[in-house]
Amino acid sequence: MISKSTIDRVFEASRVEEVLGDFVNLKKSGSNYKGLSPFSDERTPSFMVSPVKQIWKDFSSGKGGNVVAFLMEHEHFTYPEAIKYLAKKYNIEVEETEQSQEQKEQADERESMYLVSEFAAKYFQNNLLKTELGKAIGLSYFKERGFTDETIEKFGLGYCLDEWDAFTSEAIRKGYKLDYLEKTGLTIVKGEKQFDRFKGRVMFPIQSMSGRVLGFGGRILTNDKKAAKYLNSPESEIYHKSKVLYGIYHAKQAIAKEDNCFLVEGYTDVIQFNQSGIENVVSSSGTALTPEQIRLINRLTKNITVLFDSDAAGQRASMRGVDLILEQGMNVKVCAFPEGEDPDSFAKKNTEEEIRQYLKDNSKDFINYKASLLMEEAQNDPVKKASLIRDMVSSISKIPDSIQQEVYVQETSRIMDISEDVIFRTLAQLSGGGKTSKQAPQKNKSFEVVRDEETPKKRVNELYVLEKTIISLLLLYGSVEEDFEDLVLKVDDKGEMELEPEMQRAKVYEKVFLDLQEDEVAFANENFQKIYQQVISKYTENEKFSLETFINEMPVENASEVTNILMEEEQYVLHDWERMEIFVKQKKEGIARLVSETILSLRRYLVNQKINELNNQVKEASPEDSQEILQDIMDYLTLKKVLSNKLNRVM
């Protein structure tokens, strides 16, 4: 684990505007910076960065947080990866906390395997670009495929010399241990002899989401029928092929921005598409698609378009992958290329605009595509048609969302000219529900129109707004000292209740804490309750509350909620309302008034809730008890009136 002192130094050195400026074109806007959202396509800036608060907010997608949250969202780093990235940027040495001997050995082994893999990638590329054999054989092959120098460097393409142990000997000479060369699969050890696994092959480094080299794919260039055309690194501590997608490191930002991922079969498909300008493309590297690989894409988008060759074998293999994608609750389209073409050859022959237009025009919903693909086989054969329908229903059964299932049932019914009832019964059998024909008509229940009186009216959640306002005041102005008009409940000479004002000077957090404690109020929203406890704890522990430190130390899951609160006023800056002579009043112009108003509103809300609760009780109470409850209701109604009068005066 990374030591806390390292994390503290990283946060202290990091400047949110500097780090985010590497990914987003930011322009000064008052005390803040603004730019176009990196998470969606837009023409008007909705992305705001606050150097003062050291946070950012993307109003188009709702995302926000501190500098680490941005790296986790945009670069899809883990928390430790984000810290290490920042440490490297600001030249901070990363200290690890004390680990057990077993943990140290395991960590050292993994890190050593990463280092060996990184060395191998550089060595293979150096062979390709700097040696005569590499240029004549490997580089010539890549140039024939149409790859530019820029593309070759971007994907780290290389060449392993056609010698038995050229790589292994050089690695050992550089100080890398044979044990790790063997564990990564780069070297094959047999007794006292050792051989280069990828001898005589062009090399494709396989990178993780964060860019670390995990393994390699190697393509042979000779016509040796005994050798596999493509060879992958074996499974290791750092490389699990079922959990890795080729090209994900270069594609992740484009996938998130385009909100779609193109899935192809091979390495060169990915590279050729990327070189054409379409970067949101990955490959399962010739292996069967796995749920782990699909979940990797799911971190970036819910939408996958499967691209496959025109040959029937490639189409059927890809259709098997479609069912897996559906099982993961994702949206899937499919697109086949013209006869004799694959993604690599098609991208090589067409411009980016032509490729995009083709994909747009020919990407079909999986049901429509499956129907067109299998109908050619079924033609006028009823038995084959029945088999086709079962095949389509089998795919629909994989979808976890019931509404989506019904939509596809309707579509299948239309395309195949068969009743929905029959499809639903088949679907029920496949799902193990055993639904009978009498039950089938219930299928459309999801689409029944609800009568107006049953439709709940959408209302503003008053309690949520009040709790959010209290958190906002604590975060922004908790340590500010103000004169508050405290209200003491008294009974006058006539026996009537009234709130008598008394002035007191206190800090905002003290006023809020004491008033909520006096009323025995706990937040209804769990996130707000956690944030409230953390904020009050920080204020009571330290005289000087640092908002920046608080944000950096808080759990990641609360970061978005806090950013929403803190950046609320910055949204007005985006609209530039002052230029249109619309002036938004800032909170700081009346902190004491706003604190008092919010607490009074919360008290009135809670009193109203109590009145409703008592009204429900009186309906079921005995005559004796009802008199007592009615008296309580009258007392609460009087208090509500007093609070309302006072609230109107404050406002």
Mean pLDDT value of segment 61-81? 84
| 4-89 belongs to CATH 3.90.580.10 | yes
| CATH architecture classification, 99-239 | Alpha-Beta Complex (3.90)
pLDDT of residue 314: 58
Q: Tens of pLDDT along 349-374?
A: 999 999 999 999 999 988 888 777 66
Which is nearest to 156 in space by CA: 95, 108, 213? 213
Distance CA 224, CA 231 (A): 13
- Does position 103 have pLDDT exceeding 80, yes or no? no
- Does position 105 have pLDDT exceeding 70, yes or no? no
Distance CA 303, CA 363 (A): 12
- Beta strand pairing call for 281-283 and 261-264: parallel
Count of alpha carbons within 13 angstroms of residue 175, beta-carbon side: 2
pLDDT of residue 604: 84
Q: In sequence order, what are the residues at sequence separation of 6 or more whose Cβ sits closer than 8 angstroms to the Cβ of residue 121? A: 156, 158, 203, 205, 213, 216
pLDDT of residue 447: 39
Q: What does the block give as tokens for 421?
A: 């009832």
DSSP secondary structure string, 597-634? HHHHHHHHHHHHHHHHHHHHHHHHS-HHHHHHHHHHHH
Mean pLDDT of the chain: 83
Which is nearest to 348 in space by CA: 146, 495, 60? 146
Distance CA 267, CA 517 (A): 63
196: left (phi over 0), alpha (psi -120 to 50) or beta: beta
- Does position 380 have pLDDT exceeding 90, yes or no? no
Q: What does the block give as tokens for 535?
A: 């904020």
Q: Strands of 47-50's sheet, edge to edge?
A: 27-29, 32-35, 47-50, 55-58, 64-65
pLDDT of residue 181: 97
- Does position 434 have pLDDT exceeding 60, yes or no? no
Q: Tens of pLDDT along 264-322?
A: 989 999 999 999 999 999 998 767 889 989 988 887 888 999 998 766 555 666 677 88
Comparing 199 with 547, the larger pLDDT belongs to 199
Mean pLDDT value of segment 315-341? 85
Largest CA distance in the chain: 108
Q: DSSP 3-state assignment of 259?
A: coil
pLDDT of residue 622: 77
- Does position 443 have pLDDT exceeding 60, yes or no? no
pLDDT of residue 107: 58
Other beta carbons within 10 Å of 179: 14
Cβ-count burial of 315 within 10 angstroms (0-12 exposed, 13-18 middle, 19+ buried)? middle
C-alpha of 270 from chain center: 23
- Does position 524 have pLDDT exceeding 70, yes or no? yes
Q: DSSP 3-state assignment of 513?
A: helix
- Does position 401 have pLDDT exceeding 90, yes or no? no
Distance CA 437, CA 173 (A): 75
Q: In sequence order, what are the residues at sequence separation of 6 or more whose Cβ sits closer than 8 angstroms to the Cβ of residue 308? A: 264, 265, 314, 315, 317, 318, 334, 335, 336, 337
Judged by average pLDDT, the poorest of 66-75, 351-360, 492-501, 620-629 is 492-501
- Does position 245 have pLDDT exceeding 60, yes or no? yes
Distance CA 429, CA 437 (A): 11
Asked if residue 196 lies in contact with residue 163, where contact means CB atoms within 8 angstroms, the answer is yes
Mean pLDDT value of segment 75-100? 82
Helix axes 623-650, 591-620, angle to 10 degrees: 160
Mean pLDDT value of segment 532-539? 84
β partners of residue 194: 189
What single letter denotes the amino acid at residue 517? Q
Distance CA 552, CA 86 (A): 13
Mean pLDDT value of segment 325-342? 90
576: left (phi over 0), alpha (psi -120 to 50) or beta: left
Distance CA 218, CA 202 (A): 5
C-alpha of 334 from chain center: 24
Domain residue extents for the chain: 4-89, 99-239, 367-446, 462-650
DSSP secondary structure string, 346-370? HHHHS-HHHHHHHHHHH-EEHHHHH
pTM for this prediction: 0.65
